[in-house]
Amino acid sequence: MIDPDYLLAFRFPEIVHPYTARDTMLYALGLGLGIDPMDAAQLRYVYEPEAALPAMAVVLAYPGFWYRDLPTGIDATRVVHGEESIVLHAALPVAGTVVATPRIIDVIDKGAGRGALVVSERMIRDQATGQALATVRQTAFCRGDGGFGGAARNDPRPAPPPERPADRAAVFPTIPQAALIYRLSGDPNPLHADPAAAKAAGFERPILHGLCTMGIVCHRAVDVLFDGDPAAMTRMDCRFTAPVIPGEIIACDFWAVPQGWQFRASVGERVVALGTAG
């Protein structure tokens, strides 16, 4: 059972992350960009990259599968990604060295047998200049760690999409090997690569990283909402609601709302992600 006071006081080591244009291309390839070798909107990220997608912030100065690799007391075999949000303070460089020190900012007990939520955050800065590039917040659903006590409270839920046809829409086919490529950008959770680990976690086969789904939605949003300009996106919030199997087709619907754009990503009738972008 996890100790919330211990987690809130937990000290992560500083992460120094040098990366190159090759890494930026590898991240985009992990999303499946380049599946259409004639699509300039994809090639600009995977061939002599002109820019980095805003969602690439999630893999910069990333602490890896820290639920398992650091002494947190969390049952790492039952951790799944719940939510992710990014706020961009500047356009991400195609190459550079960034630094961040993650911290745990909240622990929510959903009750015995219902799991817990562990929320972590990191500010990513350019090492050379100190420029803040992005703030990334991650929520892990720790399915085996509920029942430790604390005041009962619910985590905030995203607003449902407007009850009208989407204002914009786009689809993107994932590739069967997407998770195997995406994990090379720093998320080695075996749930996404090892069939035995996936079955131990309650899935029939390895599933796609939630952050890969988020990156795909980000690319579709940049393309259809922001005229292909990644610097025009300054924030993105995403809740993962169902797994994606590599090889499935993700359909993205977008609605214009006062705070920017609201989105829903689906595979068939299955909603896999909800969120906002702006």
The residue from 23, 81, 109, 192 that is catalytic is 192
Rounded to an integer, what distance in angstroms lies between the CA atom of residue 253 and that of residue 85?
A: 19
Rounded to an integer, what distance in angstroms lies between the CA atom of residue 254 and that of residue 7?
A: 36
Q: For residue 137, give the amino acid letter.
A: R
Is there a catalytic annotation at residue 17? Answer: no
Rounded to an integer, what distance in angstroms lies between the CA atom of residue 152 and that of residue 172?
A: 40
Which of 146, 173, 160 lies closest to 245, judged by CA?
173
Structure tokens at 100: 């961040």
For 249, the enclosing helix (H) or strand (E) is strand 249-257
Which residues does residue 15 pair with via DSSP β-bridges, in sequence order?
Answer: 100
Is there a catalytic annotation at residue 187? Answer: yes
The residue from 23, 109, 187, 237 that is catalytic is 187
Rounded to an integer, what distance in angstroms lies between the CA atom of residue 146 and that of residue 125?
A: 34
Which sequence positions are flagged as catalytic? 187, 192
